[in-house]
Amino acid sequence: MVRIYDPKEKIQGYTIEEMITTGNNSVSYAARASSGDKVFFKLYQSPSVRVPWYKPFVQHQEELKRRIESGPCRQFCYKFLGGFEHERKFHQVFEFLDKSHSLAQIFDKIRIRPTSVNWEQRELMAKVLVAGINQIHGAKIVHADLKPENVMLIEDPSIAMKYRLKIIDMDFSFFTDKKAPWDGHEGYFGTPGYMSPEHMTNKVPSPASDVFTLGMMLYQLLAQGHPYLYDDIEKYLPAYKAHAAAPAKLLGVPKAPAKGDVIADILHRCLHPDPARRPSAVDLHRALTGDGAGVIDDVELVRRREEEERKRRAEAERKAKEDEEHKKKLDEARGKEVERIAEEIRKRDEEERKKKEAEMVAARIVLASPDGATQSVGARVVFGRIVLAKFGDASKYAANEQFILDRSGDEWYIEACLNTPNDTMLNGELLTGRTKLTLGDKIGLGKAASKKTVLELTVRAE
C-alpha cells in the first residue's frame, strides 16, 4: 500500500510541505529540515524491506554518495544529504534546487520560440552537460535514466550560460565495476523517447547508453530537434536499429576551434545502434570544445571500443577468478571449522560417556522418590507392589512383579516384567528388554501411550 504524507507531518526531523511527484517506486516531497533548509524528500515504495536487495540498495546509495562527493562530478550532480528507514520504508533526502528549470522546459521554450535561447547559451549548455556526464562516467557510474527532466538548470545571470547545471535522479544509477543490487530482480529504468537500444532489448545499460541519450538531447540543443519523434513506442527500436536518424544540421556556428562538421558527425555517431561505434563522453566533449581529439574515424573508434571491451572482460575475468579463489578459501576454512567443531563435540560426548560409565561403577545404588523416600539396592531385586509400598499410594498401580534391578560386576541393569497392568517406563519411554542404567535415570509406572506416570524414582549413587 502506498504511504502518502500530509503537509506539516513530521518524519525524522523533516517537516513535509507539499507533494511534488509520484512515480513507480517513490513519492517525492518538498520538506524542511530542522535547520529550516528546504530539501527534496523521497519516500521509496520499492524496494521494500521484504525484498532481498533492500539492504544492498541502501548500501548502494551510500557508495553512490561517496563516489559523487569524492570526485569532480560533484559539481555537476545534486547533493545526497542522507538516508534513513522509517516505518519499514527507506527515505532519502537531497538538496532542493530552487529557482531552477529542467532542460525539458528549455526545450519547450525552444520549440515555441527558437530565438528564446541563443546559440551561445545552447552551445555552453551542451558543453557543460557533456562535461558532467563525462565526470560521472569517470567515477564509474552509469546514469541509465538520462532525459531532459533529469537535467536541472539553476538561474545564474552572472555567467554567460545564465544557468548552472545539475544532473538529478541518480538513485537508480549504477556502477560499471559491479552489478546493481536490483540486477536479476528488477529491470533498468528508462523513459520512452530517451531510452537506448540496450534499454529496449533488456541489456544492462553502459556508458555508451548514456551517450545515445546525450545524442538525442544534443540534437535538440544544437541541431534540428529530436531525431526520433514517434507517438508509438513500438516504432523506436526498429528506427534505432536502422540508424534512421537524419544527420545533424547545426543551427549555429560553433565557437572556434570547434568545427561544425565534426560536431554534426559525432552527434550522428552517438545514435549508432552498436554501442562500440558510439563516441565516449570524452570524445564528445573534445569535439564540442574543438581540441582536435574529437576527430576520430570509425576504424579508430571501433579499435578503442574493442580495446576497452577487452580490458573490461579481462578485469571481469580477473575479478571472477579472484572471487572464486576467495570463495574456495572460505569454503576450505568453513570445512575445517566444521570438522574442528565436530571433533570437539565427539570428544565431549566421549568424555561424557566415560564420565557416566565411571559414575556407574558402584556396588550399591539408591532409588529415590520426589518426597525423599529411598530404597537402597546392592543385589538383584524384583520390585513389585510390596517393595514399592514405601513410596506411597502409587505402589498400588504396580504388579506383584513389576521390574527387576540386577547387577553385573559394578554395572546395573533394569528389566521389565511381563503381563503387568501398567507399563514400566525409563526416562519417560516404555522399557523394553534389559537396559543398562545410568545415574540420574528416571524409573516410573504409567502408560507409555499417554506418557503419564504415577510413580517416578531417580537412580542415585549410595
Best CA proximity match to 379, nearest among 413, 356, 337: 413
Characterize the bridge pairing of strands 100-102 and 163-167.
unpaired
Rg, Å, the chain Cα set: 40
Is residue 244 within 8 Å of 237, Cβ to Cβ? no
Burial class (CB in 10 A: 0-12, 13-18, 19+), 323: exposed
Model confidence pTM above 0.75: no
Characterize the bridge pairing of strands 429-430 and 423-426.
antiparallel
One-letter identity of residue 249: K
Q: Which residues fall within 8 angstroms of residue 399, CB to CB, at 6 or more apart? A: 384, 385, 417, 419, 420, 421, 422
Q: What's the angle, vertex CA 278, arms to CA 272 and CA 282, rounded to 5?
A: 150
| Paired residues of 14 in beta bridges | 11
- Average pLDDT of the residues in 437-451: 90
- State yes or no: pLDDT of 344 exceeds 90: no
CA distance 446 to 453: 4
Is residue 91 within 8 Å of 43, Cβ to Cβ? yes
Is residue 265 within 8 Å of 278, Cβ to Cβ? no
The C-alpha cell 541541431 sits at: 223
| Paired residues of 457 in beta bridges | 443
pLDDT at residue 295, as a whole number:
47
Is residue 249 within 8 Å of 222, Cβ to Cβ? no
Kindly report the average pLDDT of the chain as a whole number. Answer: 90
Stronger pLDDT, 373 or 356, i.e. the higher one: 373
What number of CA atoms fall less than 13 Å from residue 349's CA on the CB side? 6
φ and ψ at residue 65, rounded to 5 degrees: -60, -45
CATH 3.40.640.10 corresponds to the domain 365-461:
no
Helix/strand/coil for 230: coil
pLDDT at residue 302, as a whole number:
55
CA distance 136 to 321: 28
- Average pLDDT of the residues in 216-230: 96
102-126 pLDDT, tens digit per residue, is 999 999 999 999 999 999 999 999 9
Q: What's the angle, vertex CA 73, arms to CA 69 and CA 76, rounded to 5?
A: 105
Burial class (CB in 10 A: 0-12, 13-18, 19+), 381: middle
CATH 3.30.200.20 corresponds to the domain 1-96:
yes
Is residue 367 within 8 Å of 402, Cβ to Cβ? no
Burial class (CB in 10 A: 0-12, 13-18, 19+), 442: middle
Q: Which CATH superfamily is domain 100-296 in?
A: Transferase(Phosphotransferase) domain 1 (1.10.510.10)
The DSSP symbol for 77 reads B
CA distance 140 to 120: 31
CA distance 155 to 167: 15
406-437 pLDDT, tens digit per residue, is 998 878 999 999 999 999 999 999 998 899 99
30-34, 45-49, 341-345, range with greatest mean pLDDT: 30-34
Helix/strand/coil for 117: coil
- Average pLDDT of the residues in 145-174: 90
Confidence band of 271 (pLDDT split at 50, 70, 90): very high
| Paired residues of 154 in beta bridges | 100, 164
CA distance 136 to 214: 13
Question: Side by side, which strands form the sheet with 429-430?
Answer: 374-377, 365-368, 452-461, 442-447, 423-426, 429-430
Stronger pLDDT, 3 or 267, i.e. the higher one: 267
Cell triple for 164: 548552472
Helix/strand/coil for 187: coil
pLDDT at residue 53, as a whole number:
94
Length of the chain: 462
| Ranges of each domain in the chain | 1-96, 100-296, 306-359, 365-461
Alpha helices in 139-200 (DSSP H): 197-200
Confidence band of 249 (pLDDT split at 50, 70, 90): very high
